Structure 1
């Protein structure tokens, strides 16, 4: 898959995929978007003392980097699983110039399918493959960063079945955040049991984002 580096309005870079006519982040600001949606509205809203986080769409590792930074600042132990079907090479990621922190390099050079202690407060497991399949084995989740490509570009990633799997595998009080605030996505999240909020989007970016919370236990089964 061909990827082209482009700079966004807050000075941080992103990748553009001509084949999909899609960017990895908002052109209004890659770092600004990730910080707002996944850190401010997700991680900082979670009361889990040692959150288990699942990211759908590991991509450039920007969400993981920001989470790593917060984990160290707050001395809050995080176990972070990132699922990616099309991994980037370190050379591609390095060209984005997100961070000179050597721990960021470790996020991308860490072996796949292994728990790697990147820092005292951040353990990473990268998993390569189809999120619809891998998510079934990810249990006791406190946070889900849902950062797949847009529904019209990757419809198989925005299915009721996947949201149901995530709901079943989340702890009560678990939070899912996503940049996509489309009505169809909101209704799918509600249909599997989440309480869904529309929240203000990042500065200069989308008008609204979604945060879904598992407020109580429901005995749902993952249908095959």
Structure 2
């Protein structure tokens, strides 16, 4: 199952995808690459690792595999720091090779270009099965929705679904409760979204919620920690 998408170029020169059906993009117009680094790497994975410097492997759960950008940046981080990651991602609409084969993320930062082959390996890994993609990166991609998914314990949650106005069912308290229920004590939840209702839902589910500076072009984002 796939949906129509069109490749666009965002303000930092990196690609994103536009979905006519939803009138929505996969990333910020202000920079897809910068958004992913800021929200999910800096304030997500790296923040958790800083609090837990010796706790391995790190278990990541991602809502929305999408273009594979978050997964690839996580793999690069794992290889650079030699920290094992177990990455679980769900996606009901996987991209066709003719689309992901054109995405330019591996060309944005020349210092990590030698990790480029892994980007295609992530997309080519079989769905609904585990895969050893690199020495420090194991992953499982499930072709499913959040509602139908089976979740595993997670230390870091990348909540990268489309905006609440486009996919409201993913942002309900019930959907969030399923994710929070799978979070390990001390786990972190990060998303580009700064909606007030989201923050209230997360607080009601027992998380400690922070409003942080957003990536370029966006004032705020949300991070939440599950108390230990």
Q: Does 1:51 align with 2:49?
A: no
- Counterpart of 1:10 in structure 2 is 12
Q: Deviations over 1:14-58 (max 9, x none)?
A: 000111110000010000000000000000011243211110000
How far apart are 1:96 and its partner, in Å?
1.4
- Counterpart of 1:26 in structure 2 is 28
How far apart are 1:97 and its partner, in Å?
2.0
TM-score using structure 2 length: 0.91
Q: Does 1:162 align with 2:175?
A: yes
TM-score using structure 1 length: 0.92
- Counterpart of 2:110 in structure 1 is none
- What's the RMSD between the two structures over aligned residues? 1.0
Q: Does 1:184 align with 2:181?
A: no
- Counterpart of 2:77 in structure 1 is 70
> Would the aligned equivalents of 1:143 and 1:175 in 2 still touch at CA under 8 Å?
yes
How far apart are 1:208 and its partner, in Å?
0.5
Q: Does 1:94 align with 2:101?
A: yes
> Would the aligned equivalents of 1:34 and 1:63 in 2 still touch at CA under 8 Å?
yes
> Would the aligned equivalents of 2:209 and 2:223 in 1 still touch at CA under 8 Å?
yes
Q: Deviations over 1:154-207 (max 9, x none)?
A: 0011011121111121111100100000101110111111110000011x2210
Q: Can you give the 5+ residue segments of structure 2 that lack an aligned partner in the other structure?
A: 107-112
- Counterpart of 2:225 in structure 1 is 213
Q: Following the alignment from structure 2 to structure 1, what is the Cα–Cα distance between the partners of residues 132 and 222?
A: 31
**Matched length:** 213
Stretches of 4+ aligned residues off by more than 3 angstroms: none
Q: Can you give the 5+ residue segments of structure 1 that lack an aligned partner in the other structure?
A: 217-224
